[in-house]
Amino acid sequence: METTFSPQSLGRPGLLSELRALFAVVRREWTSFVRYPSWIISLFIWPVIFPMGYILTARALSGVDGSGLTTFRNTTGLNEYVGYIAVGTMIWMWQNIVLWAVGYALRNEQMRGTLESNWLSPTWRFSYLLGSSIPQMVSMFMLMLVSGLEYAFLFGVDFNGSLWLSLLVILASIPSVYGLGFAFASVVITLKEANAFVFLVRGIVMIFCGITYPLAMLPGWMESVAQWLPQTYIIHAMRSAALSAEGFSGIAFDLKMILLFGVFWFALGYALFNMMERRARQTGAIGQY
């Protein structure tokens, strides 16, 4: 009797196998994340001490008799600065952490020497990047929750707004924030030494997006630049949603802009990933570091 044997690949890519691969990346990232207890410090301490520098500076600028604060009120139309600074710095921290964590996801694999072997597995390559982002998103939700509680109890920030609208702003911001992270991760595979670029991107957000001051304080040309950055709208929308009682109408325009930027950055992130990935394979640079 003759037995026929048709050679078949061990890996049969399908939706389920792709999901399993994605889940494996998520599980690995989560295990690495909880393995080092320093994340607890980041979770509880950074949200307090990062805005503290700015808040204490604003306190000094207010003066002993509060005359500086009166000037601040006249100039900006705002009544208080603590919640204003806390929300602005929190969004900056989010983008900063995404740049380091998601932006370096593939680079770290390259450094560990596992990128080339992972690339050979019959999975959708973008899932490596997507899988790294999911645990990161969970940890960021935790960070925002802890930050909110700390700002309310330690700094006495009065969150007059709506929790649901704040959540809506966060969800709508995910494509912009992570899309930028994906674009960054793709560039880093080729450029490798990327610290200076993280400093540049987060610096742009820090200077132009008004994390500690109203945009009206910026010169005209800087205001124009700020209008092209999604973080400007995210910070503004988050302040409206969390600190004021304006309701949906207060964030409607920002939300529209955030979603438009989200589509752009996510598409750009994906396109750059494909382009850089192909280029790195062609030049044989995927395993180099």
Partner 1 sequence: MQTQSLSQPTLASQLRGLSAVIRKDWKQYWRYPLNAISTMLQPLIWIAPVYFMGQAFSVNGQARGFAQYSGTTDFMSFVLLGTVLENFINAVFWGMGYALKNDMDSGVMESNWLTPIPRLLFLVGHSATNLVVTAITSSGMLLFGGLIFGFNASGDVWKAFLPILPMMLGLYGFGFAFAALVMLLREANTLVDLSSFLVQIFSGSNFPVNALPRFLLPVALALPLTYGLDAVRAYLIGTKTILPLPWELALLIVFMFVMLWLGTGAFKWLERRVRVLGALGQH
Which stretch, 135-143, 172-180, 199-207, 263-271, contacts partner 1 (CB under 8 A)?
A: 199-207
First to last CA, the chain: 54
Residue 289 in tokens: 């570091």
Which residue's CB is nearer to partner 1, number 93 or number 255? 93
Q: How far is the CB of 33 from partner 1 (least distance, A)?
A: 14
Q: How far is the CB of 192 from partner 1 (least distance, A)?
A: 12
Q: Which of 53, 122, 156, 247 binds partner 1 (CB under 8 A)?
A: 53
The answer to whether the Cα torsion of 238, 241, 244, 248 is positive or negative is: positive
Which residue's CB is nearer to partner 1, number 57 or number 288? 57
Considering the rule CB under 8 A, would residue 63 count as an interface residue with partner 1?
A: yes
Which residue's CB is nearer to partner 1, number 88 or number 179? 88
Considering the rule CB under 8 A, would residue 113 count as an interface residue with partner 1?
A: no
Q: Which of 54, 94, 104, 261 binds partner 1 (CB under 8 A)?
A: 54
Question: For partner 1, how many residues bind (rule: CB under 8 A)?
Answer: 42
Residue 222 in tokens: 């800087």
CA neighbours within 13 Å on the CB side: how many for 248? 3
Q: How far is the CB of 51 from partner 1 (least distance, A)?
A: 11
CA distances from 160 to 26, 170, 247 (A): 36, 17, 10
Which residue's CB is nearer to partner 1, number 56 or number 252? 56
Considering the rule CB under 8 A, would residue 190 count as an interface residue with partner 1?
A: no
- What is the distance between the alpha carbons of residues 103 and 90, in angstroms, rounded to a whole number? 19
Which residue, 105, 103, 111, is CA-closest to 33? 105
- What is the distance between the alpha carbons of residues 236 and 232, in angstroms, rounded to a whole number? 6
Q: How far is the CB of 209 from partner 1 (least distance, A)?
A: 9
**DSSP states of 70-123 as a string?**
HHHHHHH--S-SHHHHHHHHHHHHHHHHHHHHTTTHHHHHHHHT-HHHHHTSSS
Question: Rule CB under 8 A: which of 17-46 touch partner 1?
Answer: 36, 38, 41-42, 45
- What is the distance between the alpha carbons of residues 149 and 181, in angstroms, rounded to a whole number? 27
Which residue's CB is nearer to partner 1, number 50 or number 104? 50
Which residue's CB is nearer to partner 1, number 57 or number 114? 57
Provide the residue count of the chain. Answer: 289
Q: How far is the CB of 95 from partner 1 (least distance, A)?
A: 14
Which residue, 105, 235, 83, is CA-closest to 155? 83
Q: How far is the CB of 31 from partner 1 (least distance, A)?
A: 17
- What is the distance between the alpha carbons of residues 133 and 141, in angstroms, rounded to a whole number? 12
CA angle 205, 127, 190 (to 5 degrees): 55
Residues at the interface with partner 1 (CB under 8 A): 36, 38, 41-42, 45, 49-50, 52-54, 56-69, 71-72, 75-76, 193, 195-196, 199, 203, 206-207, 210-214, 217-218
